[in-house]
Amino acid sequence: GAVVSQHPSRVICKSGTSVKIECRSLDFQATTMFWYRQFPKQSLMLMATSNEGSKATYEQGVEKDKFLINHASLTLSTLTVTSAHPEDSSFYICSARDFRGTRLAGGRRSDTQYFGPGTRLTVL
Amino acid sequence: SQQGEEDPQALSIQEGENATMNCSYKTSINNLQWYRQNSGRGLVHLILIRSNEREKHSGRLRVTLDTSKKSSSLLITASRAADTASYFCATDPGAQKLVFGQGTRLTINP
């Protein structure tokens, strides 16, 4: 199956610094990637949708200037948490979806999102 | 919020028993998907059921979908200790993104 990687898997930083998280699709071209945040014992909350070559679409309540998303290639999206604060500590998960290369029988497209292993961010 | 609800929030059973988790959602959907998440890890896709399907099987998994009630269930038969994880349903309302339920924490006791 399709593989999505994230780097780093774990990061600890000081308050006020910026942290960049990478999400890569390893064996397919991801025209769309999604960034989620998950707090302990809670569900995944979508932060933004990242489309290759265009600006990301942010969900309501997510600060676009704080969570910078770049999807410069078909296999890489990055999330930068700027001026991180302790309340930004969370588990960040990306997923990737390919609308172009996964045509199934009858012309249907793959509906599956493939998730990365997540990045644990701790802001001190 | 568009998020669905899952029930129960936590379920603890003995190995070998069947586990049933339910998911309800609020909007019309193209499909509904179930994912598993081991503690501190990413999500693993289990099964996808389309809005025009009522039941689907995959190994020990059985998923049902009732679009009139906006609900789905996931049945894991003959549970194993390795099935211990959190299980999430996610709906695709047609806007490319997934909306996740609150999740069920399943514990299989040996």
Closest-CA residue of A relative to B2 is A45
Quote the strand ranges of A1-124, DSSP E. Answer: 4-7, 10-13, 19-25, 32-38, 44-51, 57-58, 67-73, 76-81, 90-97, 114-115, 119-123
Is the model's pLDDT at B87 over the cut of 90? yes
Nearest to B76 by CA among B68, B86, B67, B66: B86
| Average pLDDT estimate for B44-72 | 95
pLDDT at A103: 47
More confident residue, B1 or A115: A115
* C-beta atoms of A43 and B3 within 8 A: yes
pLDDT on residue A108: 42
* Separation CA A67–CA B17 (nearest Å): 44
For residues B30 and A12, which has the higher predicted lDDT (pLDDT)? Answer: A12
What is the rounded average pLDDT of the residues B82-105? 89
Condensed to tens digits (0 to 9), the pLDDT of residues B94-109 reads 767 888 999 999 999 9
Is pLDDT larger for residue B5 or for residue B37?
B37
> What is the rounded average pLDDT for all residues in chain B?
92
Q: Within chain A, which residues score under 50 in pLDDT?
A: 101, 103-109
B45 contacts B108 by C-beta, under 8 angstroms: no
Check B96 against A118: CB less than 8 A apart. Answer: no
Q: Is A111 on the interface with B (CB under 8 A)?
A: yes
Residues of B in contact with A116 (CB under 8 A): 42
Percentage of chain B modeled with pLDDT above 90 = 75
Residue A96 Cα to chain centre, angstroms: 8
Best of B100, B104, B105, B107 to disrupt the A interface (most A CBs within 10 Å) is: B100
Residues of B in contact with A41 (CB under 8 A): 105
Radius of gyration of chain B (CA): 13
pLDDT at res. A9 = 95
Tokens of B48: 């996808």
CB contact B43 to A (< 8 Å): yes
User: Higher-confidence residue: A108 or B85?
Assistant: B85
Of B30, B40, B98, the CB nearest to A113: B98
